[in-house]
Amino acid sequence: MKMFHTCVQWAGALLYPPFCAVCGEPPVRGRHLCSGCAAGAARVGGAVCRQCSRGAPGAVALESESAVTVASGRLGASEPGLAGDSSPDSSPDLSPKGRLLPRCADCRARAPAFACAVAPYLAGGVVREVVHQFKYDGKRYLRRVLAGWMAAGLEDPRLKEEPPEVLVPVPLHWWKLRRRGFNQAEVLARELASIVAQAKSGDVAGYPMLAVTIGVEELLKRVRDTGTQTRLGRGERLENLRGAFAVRPRARVRGRRILLVDDVLTTGATLDACAEALLKDGAASVRALAVARG
Ligand SMILES: [Zn+2]
Ligand SMILES: [Zn+2]
């Protein structure tokens, strides 16, 4: 019995190490982060482009009744008096109710194929650290933290207005998959689906935008390794990614509302290329969700 007890303790310790993944302090019970680090994860707030979700420094969004309202403020307009002194979104902890601006100059010049890309958190500090440990240090258990953050994005009005039917992870090239051992986007998509399923089966109030639980389907494959893109600008990334993704043979895409899943949203070029492939095969709509915006 004692042996069994020890085994259970040992298994529990594996699931939840007794250290915060970021600072090493004792974590909140049953969590991977301490309360300080959990609180340090910064939400995207303020005004963002309604398509690519990039912030527009200096842009002013008119105060809106709800997050659904698209601000009619012009990009680049400067009206300092309106810049949020009385706004509920001006708190430093970046309210989840970011405001949506009209499309940014990049999206107007060359519209991405996805209807919108949503990322609830900022990829800095604690969030960046957790993403890094998850992807590169093999701490796959941190998927719980990351998918939990990602789930906040399901409340975004842009996803609520047309609920997705299926989660599609951004695929990795087979070579990278073999080196890393897992596709981070797929692991996150499955964890997100399980969070939604738990919320649906219990009486946890959550995700009313999804009428039923949502599944994960790997509808895409990466046909070309595009190398690392971190040093490339948006235009170069788009060029580099042209034709890099294809719909898998016999994948059911036609007429479906698809939610692409990735870990971090940077320029949106990868999601754009994925969405293009899905739309070409007849997807009804393609939206995207990432944990954080780079
Ligand atoms: Zn901590
Ligand atoms: Zn944009």
pLDDT of residue 209: 57
Q: Which residue has the higher pLDDT, 184 or 70?
A: 184
Q: Is residue 184 within 8 Å of 263, Cβ to Cβ?
A: yes
For ligand 1, the distance from its centroid to the CA atom of residue 34, given in whole angstroms, is 4
The answer, as to whether pTM is greater than 0.75, is yes
For residues 78 and 279, give the distance between their C-alpha atoms in angstroms, rounded to a whole number.
Answer: 37
Q: What is the DSSP letter of 47?
A: E
| pLDDT tens-digit series, residues 278-291 | 999 999 999 999 99
Instruction: Note the pLDDT of residue 56.
Output: 65
Helix axes 269-280, 234-241, angle to 10 degrees: 40
pLDDT of residue 62: 32
Q: What is the pLDDT of residues 147-164, one digit of tens each?
A: 999 999 988 889 988 889
- Model pLDDT, residue 72: 31
Give the span between the Cα atoms of 283 and 186, in whole angstroms: 20
- Tell me which residues have their CB within 5 A of the ion that is ligand 1: 20, 22-23, 25, 34, 37
* Rounded (10°) angle between helices 143-151 and 125-136: 130
- Whether the CB-CB separation of 193 and 214 falls below 8 Å is answered with yes
Beta strand pairing status for 257-265 and 166-169?
parallel
Q: pLDDT tens for residues 199-219?
A: 877 645 556 556 567 899 999
- Which ligand is the nearest neighbour of the Cα of 54? 2
Task: Provide the percentage of residues in the chain whose pLDDT is more than 70.
Answer: 77
What is the CATH code of the structural domain delimited by 117-229+238-293?
Answer: 3.40.50
List the chain domain ranges: 117-229+238-293
Please choose, from the candidates 209, 272, 235, 244, the residue with its C-alpha nearest in 3D space to the C-alpha of residue 52.
272
**What count of Cα atoms within 13 Å lies in the side-chain half-sphere of residue 23?**
15
User: How remote is the CA of residue 46 from the centroid of ligand 2, in Å?
Assistant: 14
- Mean per-residue pLDDT over the chain, rounded: 80
35 CA distance to ligand 1 centroid (A)? 7
**Share above pLDDT 90 across residues of the chain, in percent, rounded to a whole number:** 53
Above 70 in pLDDT, residue 9? no
Q: How far is the CA of 76 from the centre of ligand 2 (A)?
A: 13
Q: How far is the CA of 182 from the centre of ligand 1 (A)?
A: 26
pLDDT at 175 over 50: yes
Cα 81 to chain center, whole Å? 32
